[in-house]
Amino acid sequence: MTFLSGYIAIIGPPNVGKSTLLNRILGKKLAIVSPRPQTTRNRILGIYNGDDFQMVFMDTPGIHRTRTALHRSMVASAFAAFNEVDIIMVMVETGSGDDPEISDILNNLRGTGKLCFLLINKIDKGSKEKLLPVIADYGRRYPFDAIIPISALKGDGVGLLLDELKSRLEPGPQFFPEDMETDQTESFLISEIIREQIYYHMKQELPYSSAVTVETIDDISRKGLLSISARIHVETDSQKGIFIGKGGRMIKAIGRSARLELEKIFGVHVYIELMVRVEKNWSKDGRALRRLGY
Ligand SMILES: Nc1nc2c(ncn2[C@@H]2O[C@H](COP(=O)(O)OP(=O)(O)OP(=O)(O)O)[C@@H](O)[C@H]2O)c(=O)[nH]1
Ligand SMILES: [Mg+2]
């Protein structure tokens, strides 16, 4: 039996459902998801194993036109994925055809010569009739090796996508041990889950001005308890005030929902201590970015 393997990137504009697809394929939450754009900031691997194959999926930050140092680093890491994988999956929504990001993505694809699928996501939202002209239009714009409509949220088309991917894998090594599901550390995943809750609790630009680092994790296994201390970094004193909220109400609410989510993921009781710290203009400063993991 020949072992098949490959790296497969999920690329696309923000908010189209890339992280949702990664989680759907792996059958668990590896990547955070939110209704707002630019949620994912780092590349995340999800390792999908079969008896005779291994697919290494790479979730990437949404590609958008941007100015700040943080967003430049996010977009650069997404574009770098083009060169590092065997198969590229470009994900769009039915409505995203005219977005300038799509042209940027297609222009970058042209030079790669790599196998490339187009995934049209969120088909559970629109009508089937609208899909056909979209498929035809994308087919004209780029010679995709396959165009596959899916719903990452509901799972429609995802089985078909996996079959199609498997049929295109080449003989290759098992890159990661069988029991490894992701390249993320536990502490990175925890910081991401806290960041996810910030997207749900904070309005407007505030999530984009925040970063989370985990300072300590105490695994008190005998008591079935994970005790976490983490910091939320914001850019100004006034943001700090809003994150803490009246009488600490906001920070408590973020901590509580992150705790519930982490208890679901780890299956143990979780205790979280959250602190808010001002790191002036961190999203515009290269050194601060590196310190915070970007
Ligand atoms: N109706 C519907 N909603 C979806 C589907 N897939 C994802 N979503 C929703 O779209 C939003 C964005 O999903 P994400 O997975 O965070 O999107 P993303 O492409 O990773 O976004 P960035 O990380 O910001 O680039 C969330 O509210 C998801 O629940 C789908 O198939 N159908
Ligand atoms: Mg994402």
**Ligand 1 neighbourhood includes 121 CB (under 6 angstroms):** yes
Look at domain 4-171 and name its CATH class.
alpha beta
| pLDDT single digits (tens) 189-245 | 999 999 999 999 998 889 999 999 999 999 887 778 999 999 999 999 999 999 999
pLDDT at 50 over 80: yes
Q: Whose CA is nearest to atom 6 of ligand 1?
A: 17
Using the atom order of ligand 1, give the atom closest to the CA of residue 22: 15
Q: Average of pLDDT values for 158-184?
A: 97
Does residue 276 have a pLDDT over 80?
A: yes
Q: Is 107 annotated as a binding residue?
A: no
Q: How confident is the model at residue 81 (pLDDT cuts 50, 70, 90)?
A: very high
pLDDT digits (tens, 9 = 90+) for 92-144: 998 766 788 999 999 999 989 899 999 999 999 987 788 999 999 999 999 99
Task: Domain ranges for the chain, please list them.
Answer: 4-171, 186-291
Return the pLDDT at 127: 78
User: Is residue 122 annotated as involved in ligand binding?
Assistant: yes
Average pLDDT over residues 246-255: 97
Residue among 20, 36, 40, 119 whose CB has most ligand 1 atoms within 8 A, to mutate: 20
Counting from 1 in the atom list of ligand 1, the atom nearest the Cα of 41 is 23
Distance from Cα 247 to the centre of ligand 1, integer Å = 33
Buried b or exposed e, range 52-91, using 16+ CB within 10 angstroms: ebbbbbbbbbbbbeeeebbbebbbebbeebbeebbbbbbb
Helix H or strand E encompassing 288: helix 286-291
Beta-bridged to residue 274, according to DSSP, are: 230
Angle ∠(42,169,13) on CA atoms, nearest 5: 35
- Give the Å distance between the CA of 287 and the centre of ligand 1: 31
Please identify which residue in the block is written with the tokens 């993505």.
Answer: 105
- The atom of ligand 1 lying closest to the CA of 16 is 19
For the four alpha carbons of 186, 7, 110 and 83, in that order, the dihedral sign comes to positive
Q: What is the second-level CATH architecture of the domain 186-291?
A: 2-Layer Sandwich (3.30)
Residues 6+ apart with CB under 8 A from 80: none
DSSP 51: S
The predicted pLDDT at position 278 comes to 97
- Taking CA atoms only, the protein residue closest to ligand 1 atom 27 is 35
64 lines ligand 1 (CB under 6 A): no
pTM: 0.95
Ligand in closest contact with the CA of 78 = 1
